[in-house]
Structure 1
Amino acid sequence: MKPSPQFFLAAFLSLILQTGICYGIKWIALSKTPSSLALNQTQHCKQLEGLVVSQVQLCRSNLELMQTIIQAAREVIKTCRKTFSDMRWNCSSIELAPNYLLDLERGTRESAFVYALSAAAISHTIARACTTGDLPGCSCGPIPGETPGPGYRWGGCADNLNYGLIMGSKFSDAPMKMKKSGSQANKLMHLHNSEVGRQVLKASLEMKCKCHGVSGSCSIKTCWKGLQELRDIALDLKNKYLSATKVVHRPMGTRKYLVPKDIDIRPVKETELIYLQSSPDFCMKNEKVGSHGTQDRWALKTGTSMSSGPQGDLEGHQKLQS
């Protein structure tokens, strides 16, 4: 018996659901949550856009976190747009969350950056919220074990990075840990890039101090561990975006791993962003792939030509006409 057209349509839709790869950043749609939504009852979690089932469950059990996570979603959009304002791809399509275009729907280097930034942003925002007292479940970060130098003492309120990492990764990684969240290669790629974002966040923790003393002498400095601003973390991730590595899912022994495509077989470095598919051409306007073109706005030029990719030496800015 010949299958009906409805059968093929159902199979096609099922394939789309099985192979969709941007589940992990649909939560950025939380940025559109109306301020009138109180989020003080568990049934409110179903009203939030862009969440998968496991994230709704996390919302129900951690209601006090949700306003902070909503703020993180807004920070992702603002920071991404600012970081890429001078590039051919200017992150404008991120505002379409949760229904992305091909620039973020596919496993491109652009999606690699957004996954990394999203993972860093949610942990950063939660860690800072602990410091400001906005979250009842956490407080200041722990006092460092090492002894500060002469004239220095530990004090103040450190950013609670550990709590931010734990709760942030639970929420942002939840979609990639679903059984039906796309291919194994895509899940490995997104989990890897998210972890790169958290690594850059951890590396940004630095000692911050405030002076004390008679007449501003600064004879004693009270210090604590604080995170750099998200915009600085995003700039570090942008550098990793520019040098991101294209990978393939290749058998090695009895298992398959993501390995660099054009380099001798080696493991993927823990510090590098990776992608599976080449980026669309962002030179010309093409709304389907997330490109608004680059006419009449400032962007970085690459080498001697105005190519669409991020490769090459950056030689300053030029206003693009086509």
Structure 2
Amino acid sequence: MIKLKKCLDLQVVIILIWVLQSFVVTAMDMWWNLGVVGGAEVWRNQKVYILGAQPMCSQLKGLSLGQTKLCQMYHDHMPSIGRGAQLGIRECQYQFRFRRWNCTIIQGDSSVFGPVIEIASREASFTHAISAAGVVHAISRSCREGELASCGCSRALRPKDLDRDWIWGGCGDNIEYGYRFARAFVDVREREKNHPRHSAELSRMMMNLHNNEAGRRSVYNYAKVACKCHGVSGSCSLKTCWQQLPTFREIGDRLKERYDGAVESKFNKRGTKLVRKHKKYNKPTKEDLVYLDESPDYCVVNPKTGSLGTVGRECNKGSDGMDGCNLMCCGRGYNTFKRKLVERCNCRFVWCCQVKCKTCESIVDIHVCK
């Protein structure tokens, strides 16, 4: 595990001082919009950004004023931020594919997931964490690939437990820079809000900041050491090692576990920080997710909460889990129909360099919630 550095570099400090101002942002606008079709169209062409950074930054839907200023200063970072948002959205949909709420994107909604994220529930906690993790991951990789002007390969110190005969070098993922920039970009949206103390919005802001940090740490604290062998005929007489990001699936799995064990929280008596609501549970660490409100009922359609209901969702008749027809359909029952499944089968390798397969058809039962 890599310990977090206590200080940001001078460049990022200057940015934070400049952008942490008391601006009011629209609650439902989210920078996650950069990761969906339509919201991502503006940043796809990096050359357009370089030619006219300021006008383009002001046209991006979902950016707060502070994030717009960062965009103007670091316009070459925006494609990476968009990829990070896309990573978070796709991983959310994978992790919740068998849940009643399955991270459905609301087309045309700049908040991406609709009103559901305005409820300070476990689901909002996860979406903030996984999207913040996505930015760290994408920026760190872009540094290594040489796509950003202000960073390059990782400068992480040599791990103490690394074999002394191995070379610490190569071009590692710059997780240190990715973490710092993600903290500046993602958190400024929360910090620039101007709300009265002890308000519900203040506690929500603190919750989001906590979960953003948990998402970033799910990347930063689990960096790996990757090595490559060198030597005659694969003898591996010499190894070169470098810092490498964990896979985003590993990050998603870890945050999903944090979601399942999320800690219900509340303001302390002084109104200065969030604390666990029930003392029988462990105190949340900076890697744990926290939430304030119970999740809404996702069984039925409710425009106010953003619930799309589960009518028409496929379910697994033989499962007792959340993907099972009993839980997924909320006790309403299900309909069964036949579906023709066409897939490749009986594949075999043909010398040289071809794989030939047959096409097989089968009829399977599909169960859909009433």
TM-score when normalising by structure 1: 0.81
- Equivalent residue, structure 1, for 2:40: 33
- Equivalent residue, structure 2, for 1:11: none
| Structure with the larger RCO, 1 or 2 (CA within 8 Å, 6+ apart) | 1
1:220 maps to 2:232: no
Contact kept? 1:259, 1:266, Cα under 8 Å: no
**Greater CA drift, 142-151 or 65-74:** 142-151
1:284 maps to 2:305: no
Unmatched segments (≥5 aa) in structure 2:
1-22, 331-365
- The one-letter code matched in structure 2 to 1:293 is T
- Equivalent residue, structure 1, for 2:334: none
1:103 maps to 2:107: no
Moved over 6 A (4+): 17-20
- Equivalent residue, structure 2, for 1:259: 275
Contact kept? 1:285, 1:291, Cα under 8 Å: yes
CA distance in 2, matches of 1:231, 1:71: 15
CA distance in 2, matches of 1:179, 1:285: 31
Superposed displacement of residue 68, structure 1? 1.2
Q: In the superposition, relative to structure 1, how do residues 65 and 142 fare at CA in structure 2: closer, same or farther (>3 Å)? A: same
Superposed displacement of residue 52, structure 1? 0.8
Identity of aligned residues (%): 30
Superposed displacement of residue 295, structure 1? 4.0
Q: In the superposition, relative to structure 1, how do residues 302 and 290 fare at CA in structure 2: closer, same or farther (>3 Å)? A: closer
- Equivalent residue, structure 2, for 1:127: 140
Unmatched segments (≥5 aa) in structure 1:
1-16, 310-317
Q: Deviations over 1:296-319 (max 9, x none)?
A: 42477159962799xxxxxxxx96
CA distance in 2, matches of 1:120, 1:196: 8
Q: In the superposition, relative to structure 1, how do residues 22 and 308 fare at CA in structure 2: closer, same or farther (>3 Å)? A: farther
Contact kept? 1:119, 1:168, Cα under 8 Å: yes
- Equivalent residue, structure 1, for 2:335: none
Q: In the superposition, relative to structure 1, how do residues 276 and 22 fare at CA in structure 2: closer, same or farther (>3 Å)? A: farther
**Greater CA drift, 135-144 or 187-196:** 135-144
Superposed displacement of residue 196, structure 1? 0.7
CA distance in 1, matches of 2:263, 2:312: 29
1:250 maps to 2:268: yes
Contact kept? 2:158, 2:168, Cα under 8 Å: no
- Equivalent residue, structure 2, for 1:293: 310
- The one-letter code matched in structure 2 to 1:260 is R
For the pair shown, the structure with the greater C-alpha radius of gyration is 2
Superposed displacement of residue 185, structure 1? 0.4
Q: Residue 265 of structure 2 aligns to a residue in which SS?
A: strand
- Equivalent residue, structure 1, for 2:289: 273
Q: Deviations over 1:113-165 (max 9, x none)?
A: 01111111111110110001111111100152345315522122111111111
- The one-letter code matched in structure 2 to 1:29 is N
Superposed displacement of residue 36, structure 1? 5.2
Q: Deviations over 1:213-251 (max 9, x none)?
A: 221222222111111111210110000001111112231
Question: Aligned ranges for residues 118-267 of structure 1 at < 5 Å?
Answer: 118-146=131-159, 148-149=162-163, 151-180=165-194, 183-251=201-269, 254-263=270-279
- The one-letter code matched in structure 1 to 2:166 is Y
1:83 maps to 2:131: no
CA distance in 2, matches of 1:94, 1:130: 32
TM-score when normalising by structure 2: 0.71
Contact kept? 1:88, 1:294, Cα under 8 Å: no
Q: In the superposition, relative to structure 1, how do residues 296 and 265 fare at CA in structure 2: closer, same or farther (>3 Å)? A: closer
Count residues with an aligned counterpart: 294
- The one-letter code matched in structure 2 to 1:51 is L
Q: Deviations over 1:279-309 (max 9, x none)?
A: 1122334455233416442477159962799
Q: In the superposition, relative to structure 1, how do residues 319 and 235 fare at CA in structure 2: closer, same or farther (>3 Å)? A: farther
Q: In the superposition, relative to structure 1, how do residues 230 and 114 fare at CA in structure 2: closer, same or farther (>3 Å)? A: same
Relative to its length, the structure with more helix (as a share) is 1
Q: In the superposition, relative to structure 1, how do residues 225 and 73 fare at CA in structure 2: closer, same or farther (>3 Å)? A: same
For residue 115 of structure 1, the aligned residue among 128, 140, 144 is: 128
Q: Residue 39 of structure 1 aligns to a residue in which SS?
A: helix
CA distance in 1, matches of 2:298, 2:187: 29
Superposed displacement of residue 270, structure 1? 2.2
CA distance in 1, matches of 2:80, 2:104: 23
Let me know the Cα RMSD of the aligned residues: 2.9
Contact kept? 1:197, 1:237, Cα under 8 Å: yes
- The one-letter code matched in structure 1 to 2:122 is R
Q: Deviations over 1:182-218 (max 9, x none)?
A: 7210111000011111111112201111111221222
Contact kept? 2:169, 2:240, Cα under 8 Å: yes
Superposed displacement of residue 84, structure 1? 1.6
